[in-house]
Structure 1
Amino acid sequence: MNGSMEQNIRTLIVDDEPAIRELLAFTLEDMDLQVSVAATVREAKMQLEQGGIDFCLTDLRLPDGSGLEIVSEIQHHHPLMPVAVITAYSSADSAVEAMKAGAFDYVSKPIEVNRLRQLARRAIQLLGPRVAEKAAVDPVVGEGPQILGVSPAITRVREQIQRLGRSMAPVHITGESGTGKELVARAIHAASPRAAAPFTPVNCGAIPENLMESEFFGYEKGAFTGATQRRAGLFEAANGGTLFLDEVADLPLPMQVKLLRAIQERAIRPVGAHKEMPVDVRVISATHQDLAQLVAEKRFREDLYYRLNVIPLSVPPLRERREDIPVIAEMLLQRIAQRQGLGSLRLSPAALAWLTHYPFYGNVRELENLLERAAALHEGASIEPHDLQAPGTPPAESCAAPPNLDATIEATEGRILLDALERAQGVKTEAARLLGISFRSFRYRLKKLGLDQ
């Protein structure tokens, strides 16, 4: 930042230590920001009431209360104002609590000037259109993935995505396999000031355990046999952007410890390196498993769970938003027709009605598989219900009310697994990748259903 780009943006610094206030004020004024200061919660609230504040940075420990009171005040009365907090170096829990309350980021004591500048830049980007008249700063705007649908459930998800885009807080996305958790993660990234930076997805269940540390953190030349040159890891690749940890429940316990440290310290140590390197990464995680249950079973670290699950977001299954099926099916069918070079392709009214009554235990992924098969095998001008009914598919008339729920679920799951195996030409690791689950999970499901021959 240079010149007078931010000269009209007013920042409120709240800290009771004069030396800290002076350091913060000097750094932000050097960025051409206007600075006001307060030493207590009461003084801060008075300045906020007077108006004109664009961005607030507050200590959490103040003489007359907690900085969380200021965060809550801003969330209630000035919801578009970015607010960040200052925490003690070892107080990760306080930072998590502040982000849950609405802070978009935090900086730890002792304060690093470069980290403070980085935080201020994020705040200015979050101001978005409000800055346009006050400073020559354009927000980073990303064309996010489309989250289609008109149901109340998916409308709430879209609203959450926009709110979460303004935060640096870790998000944990839950939902059944095939609901589109990665799509939601990409949409959060695209709605954030990080939209122009990398979105780096990784399936935690697809990385061999002995390679995890080098995959996540990279390695130096000569770190081990075969390391002929330096290689950046996933954290470094995502620097400045978002790291999406899909199926995070599949991480082995030793790697969970290393991941926790990287998230808390915002630094990594590549294999073979002698010192840590700072990284600026927002972490979004996802799983179809119940992490809280895994914590209770001692299969997932409780401290990592609370660090990842700062803001939970649940993606509803397709059968709970049936009114969205027509628009999703039409979009998928257009994509499939274009990919297969089929020209114009449409669903008959009867086929559309059949789809809206189908249980879809495999969610959007299963819908796409059904449409892809139907597009390849159909005859005539449009896709009819019989084109959708592959071997093992419940009859159209029974889709609305399966006679035996457990049996129907198992039959549907088995059909999805076998279909993936067929598409992967019998290679189980590839079938697991197609389904977006780990190899261990795929093998377990086959064995459970008696299909592991």
Structure 2
Amino acid sequence: MTKPLALIVDDEPDIRELLEITLNRMGINCQCAGTLAQAAALLRQYAFDVCLTDMHLPDGDGLDLIDQIQTLPSPLPIAVITAHGNMDTAILAMKKGAFDFVSKPVDLAALRQLIKSALKESGDASDKKPQMQQVLLGESAVMCEIRAKITKLARSQAPVYISGESGSGKELVARLIHEQSSRHDRPFIAINCGAIPHELIESEFFGHKKGSFTGAVSDKKGLFQAAEGGTLFLDEVADLPLSLQVKLLRAIQEKKIRPVGEYQEIPVDIRLLSATHRNLAQMVQEGSFRQDLYYRINVIDLHIPPLRERISDITLLIAHILAKLTGGNNPSLSFAALAALQQYAFPGNVRELENILERSLALFNGKEIEVDDLNLPVSSPNTNNPADYDPSQGSLEDYLEDIERKAIATALEENKWNKTAAAKQLGLSFRSFRYRLKKLNMDN
């Protein structure tokens, strides 16, 4: 079996030798360069599996090398060596696409773990990517873009901050990043930061030693240790008390934790993902969230749009949710019910859609889900919700036709007047769509 090949770039011969010896002992062949120019020449000559580079080089810096590697047909994982405490440089490197970083003086144990993760990432995709347990549904442009970003982010170790409204699917996105990463066979630990009592939160995160406080009757591992080798997802990270924010910042920077009552720090290897529905940037301005921690967890920002901004995905989501709730024996929705859902603003997003459909299954007559079965809130933020029908406005038939007309017009506009695509978005056969166009005098 061919040994992996690593590119080491550093202008100090002693450092190059130390790194080369360490990697050789791991069964990795190495090529070394002291300048950017030498590194570029080696990249043209060899097919490397991983690159390790210092930030400061005689003819440039590691950021330039990251840019060069990103232009390769098959970019390889690149880790940067930064000066101790210089997290700003490490963050910038990861924003540019670096896999991870290691600080000087180099901790060889941490370096070996980093290289193992990088080689796992650069290996054959069929060896490292399992069958997906979760799916992110939607064919809208924004959802296709998010899936592409998830695939890209899964190849990095950079902290990702997932923003979005409640119920929009932030934890699902975090799980997908984990499942597509080289850490997929290690734990994914999700924790709601707002659900832990403040007096217990440090122990929950970092663990504690027996006798360190009243009630600590035995040693306990914390969430960081439970996620060792895998991914730690901090949901509602905005709810963390300021006292813990300081300790979390150190754990991220040093990649070490100190359990309550312990004197020695323990190295940890985790990928950190975080999320909240609140405005973290505003909380930083108000002083309720530390600015330095905000920059550490927000290396990459991934925003999940609310459901009302991707209405074209609703038909697909409805079919998936009903199949999950009924075991595949999907009841149909009346056109008026589908139009009502497409015009509803969904303050609770996908989670609310699931609740609405689950409730409707208990209410419908066994044939077709109607508007009344949905039981949408009367005070819907959108106009023309059938739940708001007032008989004084005219006949119910005219009212529902108006909703149909607006839903069809919206679908046509969103699909650039492609009738086949508009019909698919509305969950209609093309024949049924043409019939409705004619019925509503919209077939001109």
Name the TM-score class by shorter chain: 0.7 to 0.9
How far is 1:112 from its partner?
2.1
Residue 157 in 1 paired to residue 146 in 2?
Answer: yes
Q: Deviations over 1:419-448 (max 9, x none)?
A: xxxxxxxxxxxxxxxxxxxxxxxxxxxxxx
| Alignment CA distance shift 1:286-1:220 (3 Å) | same
> What are the superposed Cα offsets for residues 145-192 of structure 1, whole Å, 9 maximum, x if unpaired?
100010001000000000000000000011111100000000001110
The 1:398/1:80 distance shift into structure 2, 3 A limit, reads same
**Sequence identity of aligned pairs in percent?**
53
Q: Within the alignment, does 1:18 sit opposite 2:13 as a pair?
A: yes
Aligned amino acid, residue 319 of structure 1:
R
- The equivalent residue for 1:128 is 123
Measured after TM superposition, the shift of residue 78 of structure 1 is 4.4
- Does structure 2 conserve the Cα–Cα contact (< 8 Å) formed by 1:284 and 1:308? yes
1:341-374 deviation digits (Å, cap 9, x = unpaired): x955333333223212221121101111111111
Structure-2 residue corresponding to 1:104? 99
1:262 aligns to 2:251 (yes or no): yes
1:307 aligns with 2:326: no
Structure 1 position 193, deviation (Å): 0.3
Deviations 1:34-53 (A, max 9, x none): 21000011111121133422
Higher deviation after alignment, 104-113 or 285-294: 104-113
Mean CA deviation greater in 196-205 or 24-33: 24-33
Contact 2:193 2:235 in 1 (8 A): yes
Q: Could you tell me which residue of structure 2 aligns to residue 185 of structure 1?
A: 174
Within 5 Å, which residues of 2 pair with 1:287-306? 287-306=276-295
Counterpart check, 1:349 vs 2:335: yes
Of residues 314, 319, 334 in structure 1, which corresponds to 2:308? 319
* Mapping for residues 135-146 of structure 1, pairs under 5 Å: 138-141=127-130, 143-146=132-135
Secondary structure, counterpart of 2:150 in structure 1: helix
Give the match for residue 381 of structure 1. Answer: 367
Q: 2:234 aligns with which of 222, 235, 245?
A: 245
Match of 2:431 in 1: none
Matches within 5 A, 1:163-202: 163-202=152-191
Which stretch has the larger CA shift, 118-127 or 263-272? Answer: 118-127
8 Å contact kept, 1:142–1:191: no
Residues 322 and 236 of structure 1, relative CA distance in 2, 3 Å threshold: same
Secondary structure in 2 matching 1:158 = helix
In 1: Cα distance, 2:385 partner to 2:177 partner: 34
Can you give the 5+ residue segments of structure 1 that lack an aligned partner in the other structure? Answer: 133-137, 404-453
- Amino acid of the structure 1 residue aligned with 2:70: Q
267, 283, 297: which is aligned to 2:272? 283
Q: Is the 8 A contact 2:378 2:388 kept in 1?
A: no
Question: Residues 70 and 30 (structure 1 numbering): CA distance in 2 closer, same or farther, change over 3 Å?
Answer: same
CA distance in 1, matches of 2:288, 2:250: 18
Q: Which residue matches 2:260?
A: 271
After superposition, give the CA deviation of every residue in 1:252-280 in whole Å (9 maximum; x if it has no partner): 11111111011111111111112111110
- Separation in structure 2 between the aligned mates of residue 165 and residue 350 of structure 1, nearest angstrom: 41
Q: Give the direction of change, closer, same or farther, for the CA distance of 1:71–1:187 in structure 2 (3 Å limit).
A: same
Hey, what does 1:232 align to over in structure 2? Answer: 221
Please provide the CA RMSD for this pair: 2.2
4+ runs of 1 displaced by more than 4 Å? 400-403
Letter in 2 for 1:171: V
**Are the equivalent residues in 1 in contact too, given 2:224–2:268 (CA < 8 A)?**
yes
TM normalised by structure 1 equals: 0.82
Q: Describe the SS at the equivalent of 1:147.
A: coil
> Match for residue 82 of structure 1?
77
The aligned counterpart of 2:345 is: 359
> Is the CA contact (8 Å cut-off) linking 1:204 and 1:251 kept in structure 2?
yes
In the other structure, the counterpart of 1:55 is 50
Q: How does 1:320-335 map to 2 (within 5 A)?
A: 320-335=309-324
2:86 corresponds to which residue? 91
In 2, the alpha carbon distance for the partners of 1:395 and 1:33 equals 60
Q: Is the 8 A contact 1:385 1:396 kept in 2?
A: no
Query: Could you say if the C-alpha distance between residues 226 and 139 of structure 1 is closer, same or farther in structure 2, counting changes exceeding 3 Å?
Result: same
The one-letter code sitting in structure 2 at the alignment partner of 1:370 is: I
For 1:172, the aligned partner's letter is Y
Find the counterpart in structure 1 of residue 418 from structure 2: none
Distance 1:277-1:395 versus aligned 2 partners, 3 A rule: closer
Instruction: Describe the SS at the equivalent of 1:12.
Output: strand
Counterpart residue number, 2:113: 118
Structure 2: gaps of 5 or more residues = 390-444
Pair 1:67 & 2:56 matched: no
Change (3 A) 1:336 1:396: farther
Alignment of 1:391-430 (within 5 A): 392=378, 394=380, 398-399=384-385
- Kindly provide the amino acid, as one letter, of the partner of residue 162 in structure 1: T
Whole-angstrom CA distance in 2 between matches of 1:112 and 1:171:
24
Provide the rounded CA distance (Å) in 2 between the counterparts of 1:67 and 1:390.
55
| SS at structure 1 position matched to 2:333 | coil
Pair 304,79 (structure 1): closer, same or farther in 2 beyond 3 Å:
farther
C-alpha change, 1:250 and 1:397, in structure 2 (3 Å) is: closer
C-alpha displacement of 1:77: 2.5
SS in 2 for 1:398: coil
Structure whose CA Rg is larger: 2
Q: State which of 34, 47, 71 in structure 1 corresponds to 2:29.
A: 34
Change (3 A) 1:275 1:114: same
TM-score when scaled to structure 2?
Answer: 0.83
Give 1:391 shift. 5.5
Decide whether aligned partners of structure 1 residues 354 and 259 sit closer, same or farther in structure 2, where only a CA change above 3 A counts: same
Q: Residue 402 and residue 258 in structure 1: after superposition, are their counterparts in 2 closer, same or farther (change >3 A)?
A: farther
User: CA offset at residue 67 of structure 1?
Assistant: 0.8
1:304-349 Cα shifts (integer Å, max 9, x gaps): 00000000000011111111111111111122224xxx95533333
CA distance in 2, matches of 1:90, 1:76: 29
